[in-house]
Amino acid sequence: MTRIKTCVQSQKAMKYFVLLLFVMQPVFDLDYLIYPFLNQFGIPRPSTIIRFLIIPLAICWVFFLADKNKKKTLLYGGLYGVALAVYFFLHIRQGAEIYKNLYLTPNFFFQLSKEITYLLTLVIPYGMVYCVYHLHLTERIIKQITVCLSCLTAVPIFLGDLFVFGESTYSGMTAAPFLSWFLGIYADPTKIHPRQLASKFFFEEGNTVGILMFMLLPLLYLFFQRSSSKKERIALGSLIGIHSLSMIILSTRVATFGTVLIPIGFLVLYLFTTLLMKENRIEKTVVLFCAGTALVSACILPHSPAVVNQSIDSANTAILLQDDYLRKELGSSLENTTELKTSDYYRFMFEAYGIRANLMASVPTQYYMEWYYYTADPKFWVDVLELPLEQRVNGRQIEKIFMDYKWSELSGKEKFLGMAYSTFNNGSILLERDFAQQIYTMGYMGAALTVLPWLLVTCFGAVLVLLRWKRSLRLDVLVYAMALGCGLVSSYISGHTIDQFLTSSFMALLVGVLLNLVLQPKQSEN
């Protein structure tokens, strides 16, 4: 008991336990593989227990041992908690009833447990920011966390693809290793589609892993530049190579193009702080390495599954655009008809033009055949057909159209509290764009309480940097900010960031570190 008490009272033990929670996030996510077995016995996923029980306990641990302004923390935390509780009570009361008035198909339904889970997923990372801020992490520790996270994500993806035992980022198993990209495997896309060549190892969400790797890459370049020995620089350079190649193998848009954008962005920041801010002297090795990795990545991109798949989709879209006269014919038929436009009429028009004439060929069939099936609301789908093709060419655009459609049916008061996340998640149509998605599902008040703080703290930090620019415009501050910016931009473009612990926890780490650097720029090493 004495040892346990000593451990609990040890700030060192507290620090390393919290850091372990950050490092192990990719491993926690793999527990979905055993969940079907656990679910038979009613046992929750281990990651659920860790994230919703262990992490809050760790936050309390930091509060009691490291927080020197407990009264202020309790005051602000209490006010936020009360506001959140009041909002959530009103939100679930509305969510439990409102879906009935949105004329949704039966697969859309409200679920309280999922609503609670989603709220906690959005809020707990702010507690992790609080932890990092009070831990005052050194650059050495941040480097260790970054390298560990890179190894836990990039190396498995690389090896899984090389030896062809990982899952495809999109569906099924990986069909062939990345070496096949350069050996004519794309010659016959009817045999192996480029999507089958993308690999995510066995991670649950390819997009989320890609965004995490996107945020990690700027820090890897920073630590490469700051390497204290030739051996360390070679090791980090090799890791950057594997990390970048794994991002291309993953084949999400953010990850793929990030391999070119990040070294260029880092080089710009490096030259800015070196030439203008006189922080360091220029090292040819750093400049050549950044330019070289950007060039190599750019040469690989035309052969990558993401780019090849994009070219195939563009070609298919061009074919559909050539047949755009069918869409115009549909519009003409709707305008000139003298028949009463009943549900049966719209159903006939969608079947004739959307299905048989292939005007919906670019959109996955499950959207109108399973999730929000056209027989339930044929007018909506005919209205979609009347839109220009470029506005409805893929599933993400359909999600936006659908969410806008349902959002427009709410009153101003209802928009304040939102349509409920669980309802649309259960229905399988959910906007893949953070910030906007939270406005739709959580309402204006919910979004202000759960996701707006990310933007507010970013703006606050930017203002402080500008006010203290002589000591804050440093390479480390700018690169950490760049990594955070990568996360925020990705969250809006692709989603799967703010509402996923794998990425939001790393964003919390970056915010906590940045607040320390900006507010206490001369913090001594621990």
Residues 204 and 272 in one domain: yes
Residue 189 counted as domain residue: yes
More confident residue, 340 or 243: 243
Of the listed ranges 233-237, 485-489, 521-525, the one predicted with least confidence:
521-525
Contacts of 85 (CB under 8 A, 6+ apart): none
Q: What's the alpha-carbon Rg for the chain, to the nearest Å? A: 25
For residue 525, name the pLDDT band (cuts at 50, 70, 90): very low
Res 211 pLDDT > 60: yes
Whether 486 is covered by a domain: the verdict is no
Is residue 93, in this structure, part of any structural domain at all?
A: no
Long-range contacts, 408-411 (Cβ 8 Å, 24+): 409/101, 409/102, 409/103, 410/98
Q: For the chain, how many structural domains are there in total?
A: 3
Give the residue from 44, 66, 88 where a domain finishes.
Answer: 66
Angle at 472 between CA 468 and CA 474, to 5 degrees: 155
Q: Please, are residues 498 and 210 in contact by the beta-carbon 8 Å criterion?
A: no
To the nearest whole percent, how much of the chain has pLDDT over 90?
61
What domain range includes position 54? 1-66
Instruction: Report how far residue 119's alpha carbon sits from residue 99's, in angstroms, rounded to the nearest whole number.
Output: 19
Question: Residue 519: CA atoms inside 13 Å, Cβ hemisphere, count?
Answer: 12
pLDDT tens per residue across span 64-76:
998 889 999 999 9
Q: State which of 278, 303, 328 marks the end of a domain.
A: 303
Name, in order, each residue with C-beta under 8 angstroms of 130's C-beta and a sequence gap of 6 or more: 59, 62, 63, 73, 512
- Tell me the DSSP string of 232-272: HHHHHHHHHHHHHHHHHHH--HHHHHHHHHHHHHHHHHHHI
pLDDT for res 16: 87
N- to C-terminal Cα distance for the chain? 29
| Range in 122-136, 330-344, 373-387 with the lowest mean pLDDT | 330-344
Both 176 and 269 in one domain: the answer is yes
Domain boundary among 409, 429, 447: 409
Please identify which residue in the block is written with the tokens 């959140």. 84
Is the same domain home to 299 and 170? Answer: yes
Residue 207 falls within a domain, yes or no?
A: yes
- Within this chain, do residues 349 and 232 fall inside the same structural domain, yes or no? no
288-300 pLDDT per residue, tens: 999 999 999 999 9
**pLDDT, mean of residues 497-517:** 94
Let me know whether 154 and 188 are in one domain: yes
Distance (Å, whole) CA 395 – CA 373: 14
Across the chain, what does the average pLDDT equal? 89
Same domain? 297 vs 319: no
Q: Which of 481, 489, 487 is nearest to 462 (CA)?
A: 481
What pLDDT does residue 7 have? 65
Whether 149 and 286 share a structural domain? yes
Which amino acid is present at 363? V
CA-wise closest residue to 335 among 318, 347, 354, 349? 349
Percent above pLDDT 70 for the chain? 91
Residue 79 — pLDDT band, cuts 50, 70, 90?
very high
Q: Which tops the pLDDT comparison, 5 or 456?
A: 456
Tell me the β-bridge partners of 167.
Answer: 173
Q: Are 152 and 26 in contact (CB under 8 A)?
A: yes
User: Which amino acid belongs to residue 232?
Assistant: E
Tell me the mean pLDDT in the region 131-157: 94
Distances (CA, A) of 17 to 21, 62, 384: 7, 10, 51
Confidence tier at 77 by pLDDT (50, 70, 90) = very high
Nearest to 477 by CA among 135, 218, 126: 218
Residue 244 lies in a domain: yes
**Are 353 and 269 part of one and the same domain?**
no
**Short-list 127, 64, 117, CA closest to 92:** 117
Is 112:41 a contact under the CB 8 Å cutoff? no
User: For position 524, what pLDDT does the model report?
Assistant: 39
Specify if 492 maps to a domain.
no
- Please report where in the chains the tokens 């719209």 appear, as a residue: 346
Closest CA to 523 of 489, 476, 488: 476
Cα–Cα distance between 340 and 322 in angstroms, integer?
Answer: 31
Q: What are the residues facing 173 on neighbouring strands?
A: 167
Tell whether 146 and 279 lie within a shared domain. yes
Residues 318 and 265 in one domain: no
499 backbone dihedrals φ, ψ, rounded to 5°: -100, 25
Task: State CA 126 to chain mean position distance.
Answer: 17
Give domain status of residue 123, yes or no: no
Angle at 182 between CA 178 and CA 183, to 5 degrees: 105
| 183 located within any domain | yes
Structure tokens at 267: 């080089």
Judgement on whether residues 226 and 280 belong to the same structural domain of the protein: yes
Give me the sign of the Cα torsion angle 382, 388, 389, 394.
Answer: negative
Distance CA 278, CA 73 (A): 39
CA–CA dist 24, 253 (Å, integer): 25
Q: Would you state the pLDDT for residue 218? A: 97
Please say whether the beta carbons of 452 and 461 come within 8 A. no
Q: What is the pLDDT of residues 396-454, one digit of tens each?
A: 899 999 999 999 999 989 999 999 999 999 999 999 899 999 999 999 999 999 999 99
Contact 125, 453 (CB under 8 A): no
Query: Which residues are bridge partners to 495 per DSSP?
Result: none
Task: Let me know: does 278 contact 354? Beta carbons within 8 Å.
Answer: no
Please tell me whether residues 328 and 363 are part of one structural domain: yes
At a CB cut-off of 8 Å and minimum separation 6, what does 126 contact?
Answer: 453, 508
